[in-house]
Structure formats: C-alpha cells, structure tokens
Amino acid sequence: MQRYILRRFLTAVPTVFGITVLIFVAMRVLPGDPVALIASEGQGQYVLSASELASARASLGLDKPLPQQYIGWIGDVLHGDLGHSFWNKEPISATIGRRGTISLEIAVLAVLFSWLIGVPVGILSATRRNSWLDNIVRLFMTLFLAIPSFWVGLSAVLFLVLVFTWRPPLTITQLWQDPAQNLAMVIGPSLALGLGLAAGLARMTRSTVLEAMNEDYVRTARAKGLRERLVVSRHIFRNALLPIVTTTGATMGGLIGGAVATETAFGVPGLGNFLVQALNKRDWMVIQNLVLIYGVIFVVINLLVDLSYAWIDPRIRYQ
Amino acid sequence: MVQAESLTAARPIIVRPHAGRAMLGALGRFFKSSPLGTAAAALLVVLLFVALFAAQIAPYDPLRNDYAAARQPPSVQHILGTDNLGRDVFSRILYGMRVSLLVSIASVALGVSVGMVWGVTSGYIGKTYDILSQRLIEVLTSFPTLILAMLLSVSLRPGLGTVIVAVGVTQIPLATRITRSVVLSVKETQFVEAAQCVGAPPWRIMLRHVAPQCIAPVLVIATLNLGGAIFAEAALSFLGVGIPPPTPSLGNMLGGVLAQSFKPPWWLAVFPGVAIALTVLTANLLGDALRDFLDPKLNKRLG
C-alpha cells in the first residue's frame, strides 16, 4: 500500500505542473494579456493610451519575457504569496481563508446529503425493482439529472423571497461565530447540489445493487436461510460499495464547478462567488490563482479517491 | 449531471461494410426497441425545429425594448411575460434555444472530432506520442470542467465562438479516451494485420480500418455529452462569462434575475430554467437510449 501511495503521489506532480502551464498559457499567451483584458472591458471608461498601457504592463511585470514571468509566478505561489486583487488590493490568500471555509462546508454537506439520500434510495429502488416506488424513483432521478442545481437554487431563493420576503444573508458568518446563521447560509446551496449528486448516485447504486443481486454468493446466502435484510446489508451492499465510491469521486469535478454556479445563484459569499466576481471584473491575478487552487484541490481529491479504491479493493494496488 | 470523468476501456463494435443500408435498418430497430428513446429523438427534432425557425415562430423581436410593457406577468399578449426592458420572454426563449443548441451541438462536434482524431492517432501510433498525449489529457481532466470552460472563455474574446471553443475543449478528454481504448483493441484484429501486410500506409489504416470502428461509441458519447454541453453553456452565460447580452441564451436570461428588485419577477427565472431542463432531459434520454442500444456494456463504465 505504501508503494502504491508513493507511486500515485509521484504521478500527480507532473499533472500539477501541466495545470500551471495551461493556466499560464490561457492567461498570458493567448491573444490579449491581462491588461488588454481589463482595458477592453470598459465601454469608454477605462480607455488607456499606449503609454499608459505600457506602464501598466511594466508595473505588473508583464513586459518581462514569458519564461521569467512564469518562474516568477510559480516562485510566488510556492512561497505562499498569491498576490492581491487588482481592484481592491486585498491579499488573495486572506479572501480565500475567509470564503474557503464556507465553500468547504457546502461541498462536504452536499456530498453528505447525496450519500444520505442517494444510497438508500438506490438500494430501495433496486430491491423493489419495477414496483411503483422504483418507477417514481427512476422518474425523479432522470429529472434531477437534467435540472441544473443553480436553477434549483435560483428558484428556491425566489420562492423564499416572494412568499416569506426572506433575503439571502450577504455577510459571511463562520460556523464558530454563529452556527445557526452559518447553517442558514450553507444549507440551501448544499441541498441543491446534494440533490443533483444524489440522483446520479442513486442511479449508480441501483444498477450495481441489481448486478450484485445476481451473484452466486447472494444465492448461497439466501439458500443457507439468511434473513433478507442481512443479505442486502452484508452481501449485496458491501460489494456495491466500490462503484458508489467511484461515482462520488467522478462527480467531484461537477460538484466543484456546480458549486460555483450554485453559490452565485444563492448569493452565498463563498469561493465560487469570488471567482465569478473576478471573472466578470477580469481580475486576472485572482482568476489565475483561484483556478490553480481549484485544479490542485481536484487533483488531491482524485488522489484520495484513488487511494480509497486501493484501500477498499486490494486488487487495485497490485496492478 | 452525468459526470463521466473516470473512464477506462470500451468494447469495439465491428462495423461491417455497406454501412448506409445497415444504418437505416439500425435506426428502425432502435425505434422499435426503445419507445422512450424514440420519444426523446422526436422531442429533439421538435426543439431543433423551434430553434431553426425561431424567427418565424416568435411573436416579437427578442431584442426590441418596449418600456411601456416592461415586467408584465404572463398574459394573452405575452404568454410567458416580459422582462425588465419589455422584451417578450417567449420570443427570447425561442431565440435562446437556438443559441444554446447551436453552442452545445457545435461544441460537442468540435470536442468529439478533435478527440476522435487524437484518440485514433494516439492509440494507433503509440510510443512517445501516446505517452505525451495521455499526460496532456490528464492535465485537461485535472480541471473541473466548468472551471476549465470559465478559464478559456475569459482568456478569449467574449462571444459565441469562444463559448463553443471553451465548452468544446472540455469535451475532448472523454472522447479521446474512449476512442483510444477502442483503437487499442481494434489494432490487434486480423483485418488491421491484413492491411499492414499488404503494405497500406498507417494513415490509410487509421482512416479506413480503425476510425470507422470508433463511430458507434463516439456517437454515444456525443449524445450523452450534449446535455452536459447545454448545461455548461447555461452555467457560463448565467455567470456572465458565456454568451454576452443582449443576445438571448437560456443561461444569460437567468443571470441577475434576483438582483433586479425587491420583488423579482418569477416568470423570468422559471421559464428559461424549464427550457434548459427540458432540453437537457431530452438529450440525456436520447443518450441513454442510444447507449443501451449500441453498447449496453458502456453503461457500467460510464456510471
């Protein structure tokens, strides 16, 4: 297992390197550098002369050769310096610290909801295959896979605003400051995201459980007179667990991206909201470093998912 | 969303010659075997028709402001109401459907064709090229798809083409992996060996013998990805980095609805969302049915 962890860890290093190169190419090499992006955005209000553009470039270090810029950026990041926002000069790392906890809470709760809803529903729907319950579950799964979670969020907020004249909180309340208010803020986005994830998970659980039910060891377990509940929990579910972990791992990318849109729909001041604001203001330093952080988080999650497969199923370690 | 980011091998379906006739027969069998798939296909045709003839169907100009009729709830004149500038929501949805379908179909076509070329060459040629390709694909998949699309759409000039490219690039890795895995098994078949023996050049073998085998799985991937692409366009435009206003898209119609006033008009949020859900649902159902029909084994690997 240790050798597997080491090997898997080493393959992540070139991937992270590739991520930095791709971000750098997208931000600096593709037509239009950050200054041009900012200047092109304002309709007349940020029109800069050629010399102003040049001095803006120089002050941001954009006049240096590209390799030097790249090394400078990576050096800063490795020293823990993520730079500051172009517009309000706040250090990016401070904003991430403040908002990141909110996004982390939302992501963790969403995964939790998806397990709590998706797995039991999937098992139930498989064990009562083709019953009316199964049909309803399948209908809802198909529906929730098609409904974008950010729209669920938008509609939920709209409903609350119109019916209860409730407004989403705009200030950041951390869990340790005021748990109730913090929960009120994160519960909406995590439910909206969790329902979408649960639909995918229930679908996967259903098909793997159905498959496991046809295995010989299940027939053996029944034949020796084991109670149905035990057959399901000990024999069927245990073996359906790996695909469930796989599905959760595979949906992480969708969760991170979806969280950005859903946070914005709910107006929750999380990390995703920060990214959207930066995108719309062409705040390139924020975009560059936030996308890097999202990429690294995703790589780490994939690493952990892979390691958990190896832990659940020892056969994988020796491939 | 169906996320299919961790994917391994796919089984090749050996395509026989005289494919034109066989394809018609296959279409007939598909309609017979899958009523739900047929319904989805019919619905997609209807949606495409609506998108294509939006100009003829729409009762109003989607871009014309009419402040006298601003923020009207659904009525006989404006069946889905009007927005803040008095533009007819129904007409905007029709045109938005056109933009959304154009973006999603074009981006899937882009992603899948690049992915197919890449997968066929990387699988067939192998060696260093294949290893490097695999690394690059790995980097592309290390971004959450929506984040990658955001990065690309902000680094290029805002517009329709940019959104197509941004969403299209996110579709490349999956198509490449599927194609490559098919190629790896097709490479070992006797008909490829025979072609090599008579001295056919590699490009000819790839084009005539290997690539056709990848069409069925790639078609399934393309249809399954369609829903994801519609969703991606909607999310990007909703967040303000997709289709720039005033051009309507199903996504950008949802943007800023809540920020508008103390009493947000519900019809502005509900109807475009229903249109998105309906389109994604149609694409998903068709994709599922096509997958079950063409390659039931793929089901498990896609999750």
Backbone angles phi, psi at A313, to 5 degrees: -120, 100
Residues in chain A: 319
> What DSSP letter does each residue of A91-144 carry, written as one string?
BHHHHHHHHHHHHHHHHHHHHHHHHHHHHHHHHHHHHTTTSHHHHHHHHHHHHH
CA distance A249 to A162: 37
Closest residue of B to A247, CA-based?
B303
Residue A265, token pair as written in the block? 């729909």
A285 or A53, greater pLDDT:
A285
In this predicted structure, the answer to whether residue A258 has a pLDDT above a threshold of 50 is yes
Q: Residue A91: what are its φ and ψ, rounded to 5°?
A: -60, 135
**Residue type at A94 in one-letter notation:** A
Chain A touched by B4 (CB under 8 Å) = yes
How far, in Å, CA of B148 to CA of A294, rounded?
A: 10
Interface test with A, best of B238, B239, B249, B288 (most A CBs within 10 A): B239
Instruction: Give the tens place of pLDDT for each residue, B278-302.
Output: 999 999 899 888 888 876 655 444 4
Query: Which residue from B6, B140, B231 is facing A148, i.e. has the nearest CB?
Result: B231
Phi, psi of B88 (to 5 degrees): -70, 120
Q: Do A154 and B146 touch (CB under 8 A)?
A: no
Which residue in A37, A150, A295 is closest to B143 by CB distance?
Answer: A295
Predicted pLDDT of residue B168? 95
Q: Rounded to two decimals, what is the model's pTM? A: 0.86
| A256–B136 CB contact, under 8 Å | no
| C-alpha distances out from residue B94 to A91, B59, B91, Å | 44, 10, 5
Collapse the DSSP code of A226 into the 3-class scheme (helix H, G, I; strand E, B; otherwise coil) and give the result: coil
Q: Given the structure tokens 């690493």, which residue do they identify? A: A303
Rounded Cα distance between A44 and A213, Å, is 67
B271 and B92 in contact (C-beta within 8 Å)? no
Report yes or no: B24 at the A interface, CB cutoff 8 Å: no
Contact in structure between A118 and A205 (CB atoms under 8 Å): yes
Tell which B residues from 113 to 172 touch A, by Cβ distance under 8 Å: 135-136, 138-147, 150-152, 154-157
Residue A290 makes CB contacts below 8 A (sequence gap 6+) with A92, A96, A271, A274, A275, A278
- pLDDT at position B105 is 95
pLDDT over threshold 50, residue A75: yes
The pLDDT score that the predictor gives to residue B47 is 92
**pLDDT for residue A87:** 73
Considering only the beta carbons, identify the residue of B5, B151, B303 that sits closest to A204.
B303
What single DSSP character describes residue B211? G
Residue B82 has φ and ψ, to the nearest 5°, of: -130, 160
Would you say B288 and B235 are in contact if contact means Cβ atoms under 8 Å apart?
A: no
Residues of B in contact with A263 (CB under 8 A): none
Q: Which DSSP string corresponds to B24-68?
A: HHHHHHHHHH-HHHHHHHHHHHHHHHHHHTHHHH-SS-TT---GG
Give me the interface pTM, i.e. the ipTM: 0.85
Write out chain B's pLDDT in tens, 303 residues: 333 433 444 445 555 555 566 667 777 888 887 788 889 999 999 999 998 998 888 888 888 877 777 777 888 788 888 887 778 889 999 999 999 999 999 999 999 999 999 999 999 998 899 999 988 998 998 888 899 999 998 888 788 999 999 999 999 999 999 899 889 888 888 999 999 999 999 899 998 889 888 888 888 888 888 999 999 999 999 998 888 888 889 988 888 776 666 677 888 888 999 999 999 999 989 988 888 887 665 544 443
Confidence label for A251 from pLDDT (cuts 50, 70 and 90): confident
Q: Which residues 245-274 of A are in CB contact (within 8 Å) with B?
A: 246-247, 249-258, 260-261, 264-265, 267
Residues of B in contact with A14 (CB under 8 A): 135
Query: Which of B71, B135, B151, B266 should be substituted to probe chain A, the one whose Cβ sees the most A Cβ atoms within 10 Å?
Result: B151
Helix (H, G, I), strand (E, B) or coil at A48: coil
Contacts of B235 in chain A (CB under 8 A): 148, 150, 257-258, 260-261
- The string of pLDDT tens digits covering residues A81-108 is 888 887 777 888 888 888 888 899 999 9
